[in-house]
């Protein structure tokens, strides 16, 4: 511990980043005075659990409290002041003006170090009717009380969720659990906007199978009251009636306090900080949803409302305040969303992020593998997209969708990205195997192998989205019954088992794009064809990916 560390540390905001910072500070300095100012009624609560409390999965509100009030005082000797709002910062004298929201009194609080952890607030765009009763956002425990109360008091039977991101889909699931008819209205043509469109296609089908109505590509124009019900009006002229409306269209960093104090804000609107989470004022640090951080893959500044990075940032800020040589090395946005029984997860850069950043040195592969051995009962398919750098094979990102095993695979790839690993490393990764947990060659290994085969030139890959695909003859090597059930337009069918005896039906003057159901048989076919003098490439992910891509168009 650095004996020159500040003695009075004020933290504004007491949820993930702020509470984590306070607890770490106490562990590092027993003598410091640590004060948390939280304008809400609760500190250190699990806001990721809020939708599940609304739906009754988490029955007790008390379960959402990660650290109850007395813990701060009794275990950590931290002065937690809930319902106390920081209204201004006077950097010249290192003081914060505070208002007691219960009494209305104001006072000034001196600091040696100040940590801003105000989080982000839900967006409420200035649309007609946005203030009507029955339209809610979800960001706090108080919000869950209001939503649950409205549903009970009005015997709500239908809901419209505006926004198809994490919170929107989690709320859709939980309101469906309560027996409500649910419609998700999303202005983009897909839910889960951070995920590449073709990877969300199975999610759309799954949600509809669960009875969730999807209004995609539908921007909200306004809201209206029609008798006892609300109406959500979209720009295409559609009207979606509901007894309750949940706005889940994103969040905006809470930076008013920082801006008024003259702290530097970044290009994305968040508080600009260095690697030690220090703001433009050497006495002021900032953590959590309100700050801009570096993307580990692209190097660009980004805003990220995730609890994991916020907690790590709180710890880094605490150590920096105590004089330790620490750094927050950026984020790769590792995240997962559970929707009924399906999971959608990602880490690193998506293809759309790379394209926005102007990155062209990348390739991708698709696979659709079982989450454990197929001969063991209960195997579920994982749809996986792996993105890597063409020049050296460095792993850049991954996305996965499936009923089981999704989190495990994305976690492995997340660590690979953090360690600057390559697809060659994934090919060689030694992972747990027993038939009920995985396969001897895990989907992670398969993803690495497919990528490495491409980079080595053994099995060149193409994609259904490639414009140059029109220059290829499509060869379907599935069995005739599979071909008859559906195939890509213009494809010819030569089943793998009889391909050697059918080579005369193919011209070596034409390039071949080969596919099967998921890519494995096509790999064998490509190896065979290339050794017989044909120019052949594998359509990554096979006919399954073809379906996803076409559904996303």
3-class SS letters over 194-237:
CCCHHHHHHHHHHHHHCCCEEEECCCEEEEEEECCEEEEEECCC
- Comparing C-alpha atoms, which of 463, 462, 433 is closest to residue 445? 433
Q: DSSP readout, 24-83?
A: HHHHH-SS-EEEEEESSS-SSB-GGGHHHHHTTSS--GGGGBSS-HHHHHHTT--EEEET
> What is the rounded CA–CA span in Å between residue 36 and residue 10?
6
- Comparing C-alpha atoms, which of 521, 473, 517, 459 is closest to residue 496? 521
**Sheet of 492-493: strands edge to edge?**
461-462, 536-539, 511-515, 472-476, 492-493
Alpha helices in 222-350 (DSSP H): 256-260, 307-321
Catalytic residue among 48, 337, 432, 516: 48
Q: Do residues 207 and 184 lie in contact, with contact meaning Cβ atoms separated by under 8 Å?
A: yes
In the structure, how many helices (H) and strands (E) does the chain have?
15, 31
Q: Which residue has the tokens 């792996």?
A: 386
Reported as type and span, the H/E element at residue 546 is helix 542-552
Active site includes 516?
A: no
User: What 8-state DSSP symbol labels residue 467?
Assistant: G
Q: Which residue has the tokens 């505070």?
A: 98
Write the CB contacts of 360 (distance below 8 Å, at least 6 apart in sequence). none
Q: How many Cα neighbours within 13 Å face the side chain of 312?
A: 14
Reported as type and span, the H/E element at residue 354 is helix 351-356
> What is the rounded CA–CA span in Å between residue 7 and residue 31?
7
Catalytic residues: 48
């Amino acid at each position: 511990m650095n004996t020159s560390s500040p003695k009075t540390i004020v933290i504004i905001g007491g949820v993930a980043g702020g509470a984590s910072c306070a607890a770490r500070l106490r562990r590092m300095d027993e003598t410091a005075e640590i004060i948390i100012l939280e304008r809400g009624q609760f500190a250190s609560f699990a806001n990721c659990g809020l939708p599940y409390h609304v739906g009754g999965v988490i029955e007790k509100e008390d379960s959402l409290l990660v650290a109850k009030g007395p813990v701060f005082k009794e275990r950590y000797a931290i002065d937690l002041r809930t319902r106390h709002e920081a209204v201004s910062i006077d950097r010249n004298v290192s003081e914060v003006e505070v208002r007691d929201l219960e009494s209305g009194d104001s006072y000034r609080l001196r600091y040696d170090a100040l940590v801003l952890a105000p989080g982000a607030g839900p967006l409420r765009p200035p649309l007609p009717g946005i203030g009507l009763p029955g339209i809610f956002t979800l960001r706090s425990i108080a919000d869950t009380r209001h939503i649950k109360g409205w549903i009970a008091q009005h015997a709500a039977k239908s809901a419209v969720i505006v926004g198809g991101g994490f919170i929107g889909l989690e709320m859709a699931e939980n309101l469906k659990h309560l027996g409500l008819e649910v419609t998700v209205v999303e202005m983009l043509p897909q839910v889960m906007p951070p995920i590449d469109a073709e990877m969300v296609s199975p999610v759309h089908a799954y949600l509809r199978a669960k009875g969730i109505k999807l209004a995609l590509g539908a921007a909200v124009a306004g809201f209206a009251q029609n008798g006892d019900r609300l109406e959500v009006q979209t720009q295409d002229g559609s009207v979606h009636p509901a007894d309750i409306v949940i706005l889940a269209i994103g969040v905006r960093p809470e930076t008013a306090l920082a801006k008024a104090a003259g702290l530097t804000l970044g290009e994305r609107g968040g508080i600009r900080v260095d690697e030690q989470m220090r703001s433009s004022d050497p006495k002021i640090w900032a953590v959590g949803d309100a700050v801009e951080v570096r993307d580990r893959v692209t190097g660009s500044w980004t805003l990220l409302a995730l609890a994991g990075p916020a907690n790590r940032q709180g710890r880094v800020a605490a150590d920096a305040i105590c004089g330790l040589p620490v750094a927050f090395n950026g984020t790769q946005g590792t995240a997962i969303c559970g929707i009924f029984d399906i999971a959608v997860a990602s880490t690193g850069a998506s293809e759309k992020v790379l394209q926005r950043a102007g990155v062209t040195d990348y390739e991708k592969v698709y696979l659709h593998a079982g989450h454990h051995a197929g001969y063991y009962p209960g195997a579920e398919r994982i749809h996986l997209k792996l993105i890597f750098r063409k020049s050296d094979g460095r792993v850049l990102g991954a996305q996965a969708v499936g009923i089981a095993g999704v989190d495990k695979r994305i976690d492995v790839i997340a660590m690979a990205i953090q360690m600057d690993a390559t697809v060659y490393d994934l090919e060689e990764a030694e992972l747990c195997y027993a038939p009920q947990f995985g396969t001897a060659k895990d989907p992670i290994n398969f993803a690495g192998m497919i990528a490495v085969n491409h980079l080595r030139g053994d099995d060149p890959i193409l994609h259904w989205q490639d414009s140059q695909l029109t220059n290829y003859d499509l060869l379907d090597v599935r069995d005739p019954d599979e071909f008859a059930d559906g195939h890509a337009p213009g494809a010819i069918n030569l089943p793998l088992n009889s391909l050697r005896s059918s080579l005369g039906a193919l011209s070596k003057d034409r390039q071949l794009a080969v596919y099967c159901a998921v890519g494995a048989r096509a790999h064998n076919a490509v190896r065979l064809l290339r050794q017989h003098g044909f120019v052949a490439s594998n359509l990554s992910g096979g006919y399954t990916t073809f379906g996803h891509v076409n559904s996303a168009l």
